[in-house]
Chains A and B, each alone.
Chain A
Amino acid sequence: MSEEFKIEIVNPEKSFLVKEDVSEVVVPAYEGEMGILKDHISIISFLKPGIIKILSKSGDENYYVEDGIVEFKNNNLSILTSSIFNITDMDKSQIQDLLKQVEQESSKEEISDQSKYLIDQKIEVLKTLN
């Protein structure tokens, strides 16, 4: 029996990625990293800034996301996100730009605790990529 399932990542502009031969996906869910294997229970959760790791036969891929929703049902994993980047496509300067942008946001005074938390997460993840 195959241990593979289907993943689909969509962003508002287009269907970002569709893969049928995924064996494991690790997503940065809201309450901590979550590994998803085949026949996982149906789940809906949302993402915090972090890295999506996709392990598949045709090679592993890593994506940086800032937010999103993940839904798993009948061995279909759908991830909806408005900002996603393939890490291999990101170069140092792009990461630096993002980092600078986020740091600027965090220096603003009138932000809620929740967005502060999210921004700190972003900074942390971006720093590890750097």
Chain B
Amino acid sequence: MASLDDLKKRIASVKSTQKITKAMKMVAAAKLRKAQESAEKGRPYSEKMNNVILNLSSGISDKENAPKLLSGTGNDKVYLCVVMTSDRGLCGGFNSNIIKKAKSYFSKILSEGKELKIITVGSKGNDQLKRMYGDKIIENISFKESKNANYFDADKVGKIVIDKFENSEFDICTIFYNQFKNVITQIPQAQQIIPLNNEDAEENVSEESYEFEPDEDEILSNLLPKNISTQIFKAMLENSASEQGSRMSAMDNATRNAGEMVDKLTIQYNRSRQAAITKELIEIISGAESL
């Protein structure tokens, strides 16, 4: 049995861990509010952008000559996956959920004999993927310096993706991120961004005809690269809200567990203290009896 001193030390150390997790929970809660707010504020932009593109693409009569970002290269040999994770740990299953989703997708692609390329955004994803898919990772981007998700960073990622597409380094691009549902639930998402997948949104297309200036093709070819950045930015915003939410609930759990552990250790401590006293008493009494 551990000595009284050891138990005392353990209780103290669990208590200080509890203090840390509690503080982290508070910080995450404060950041969550901000991240959630900016995720909500960012929605109109990506929605409007989507609407405009839908209206445009439905107006295009000549599908053959549609921009490649919209219709794809016609092949599906090389897959590019952008896996977006956080730069910091201690956020529960946040990163592992994305990675799990991504890995199952990877093995599906590889079993079909397709080529796979990976871009990781955020260092945690890179850490977890480089063991199994190290040779597939072509780029690792991390925004440790930026405090909040901002459009400038998203644009950087978008430009890299588009550059690679224009050099025909891949045919299909999918991004992986966590969609924020609420504090407890985050849903890992795989979203195809190249070629643009808009089958599920067809019913929103308005019947109205637009006047275009310059013509549709030119607007589309200008708009689509922007849309890539916008989608990535949306993913980043969702991700940062999810990260904070996930961290908050993880730290809440950790705090509770630490509390339980302190209770258990305290009982153990008291019991062994009593046992020590009893033992001492017995020694004294039996010592007195023998006289």
Contacts and interface: CB of A to CB of B under 8 A. Distances in A.
Interface of A: 8, 10-15, 29-31, 34, 41-46, 69, 71, 73, 78, 80, 82
4 closest pairs, A vs B, by CB? A14-B41, A12-B151, A45-B213, A43-B211
B210 A13 contact: no
A14 B42 CA distance: 5
A10 B38 contact: no
Contacts of B213: 29-31, 34, 43-45
Interface in B178-232: 206, 208-214, 219, 222-223, 226, 230
A44 B56 contact: yes
Given A42-B209, A43-B211, A13 B151 contact: yes
A46 B53 CA distance: 13
A44 B56 CA distance: 9
B48 interface: yes
A12 B154 CA distance: 10
B interface SS class: helix
A13 B212 contact: no
Given A12-B42, A46-B222, A82-B151, 6 more contacts: A12-B151, A13-B150, A30-B213, A44-B210, A45-B213, A69-B223
A9 to B, nearest CB: 10
B209 A44 contact: no
B214 A30 contact: yes
A80 B43 CA distance: 12
B78 interface: no
A46 B223 contact: yes
Contacts of A30: 213-214
B212 A71 contact: no
Interface in B2-48: 38, 41-42, 44-46, 48
19 contacts: A10-B48, A11-B45, A12-B46, A12-B230, A13-B38, A14-B41, A14-B42, A30-B213, A31-B213, A41-B211, A43-B212, A44-B210, A44-B219, A45-B214, A69-B219, A71-B48, A71-B52, A80-B45, A82-B151
A34 B223 CA distance: 20
B52 A82 contact: no
Contacts of A80: 45, 48-49, 52
A10 B52 contact: no
A12 to B, nearest CB: 4
